[in-house]
Amino acid sequence: MTDDPQARPPASSPCLAADLAPADVSDLPGWRRAERARLRAARDALRVTERQTIGTAIFRHLAGLVPGMLPPGGVFSAYWPIKGEPDLRPLMFTLHEAGFRIALPVVETRFAPLVFRHWTPETRMERGDWNIPVPPADSLRLIPDVALAPLVGWDDAAFRLGYGGGYFDRTLAALTPAPLVIGVGFQAARLDTICPQPHDIPLDLIVTEAGVQASRRPR
């Protein structure tokens, strides 16, 4: 041990470092609300063609990665895009054609973990909570082996900022074994840190149009 303060490891979370986070993180929920609004406004401002180019790049990265992460006939959970999220529905068709089962997340009960309903190209989607299209209630329930989690924001430690309902965190805390979760979003939505809290669970990988950007586990 030494008394030289320079020799000590950082004494506190990087969230408290002035260069990484807002001056006042004592109001973390308020800071997250503001960051969500800022990042969503930036996403909404993208031109349709820019969004499509980014979606295509993310599709290519995932189409190369995901099949090798799934067992034969394994379950892949995607998402039905809302609010300017990258549209990865082509990946649902591609992986369905390759013999994997596709699921979509559904809020069946508010503030409870998500459930995952089977989707095929023949599924007639219905309107769920927040008007998100979902497979009908009589669809088979599946447990994903690999799940995509759409990102509003992300950081280098693979933490995710979502819409603020805590659904993915609650779901990951409840599922055993936990699926491999890939956060999907825009490179521009990177934050120095989301200021992770005890309930925040890091994702396994973050994929943006620039490729794999962060991972929790050594690859």
Per CB under 6 A, contacts with ligand FFO among 28-87 are 79-82, 85
Task: Give yes or no for a contact between 37 and 43, defined as CB atoms under 8 angstroms apart.
Answer: no
Which of residues 74 and 206 has its CB atom nearest to ligand ATP in the complex? 206
Per CB under 6 A, contacts with ligand FFO among 97-136 are 105, 107, 114, 130, 132
Amino acid at residue number 164 = G
The tokens describing 194, both together, are 């989301």
**Residue 170 interacting with ligand FFO (CB under 6 A):** no
Rule CB under 6 A: which residues touch ligand ATP?
Answer: 32, 160-170, 173, 199-200
The neighbouring-strand residues paired with 63 are none
**Residue 163 interacting with ligand FFO (CB under 6 A):** yes
Per CB under 6 A, contacts with ligand FFO among 82-101 are 82, 85
Distances (CA, A) of 196 to 23, 40, 173: 16, 20, 15
Which of residues 71 and 198 has its CB atom nearest to ligand ATP in the complex? 198
Between strands 160-161 and 115-119, the pairing is: unpaired
Task: Give yes or no for a contact between 87 and 55, defined as CB atoms under 8 angstroms apart.
Answer: yes
Catalog residues that contact ligand FFO under the rule CB under 6 A: 79-82, 85, 105, 107, 114, 130, 132, 150, 162-163, 165, 167-168
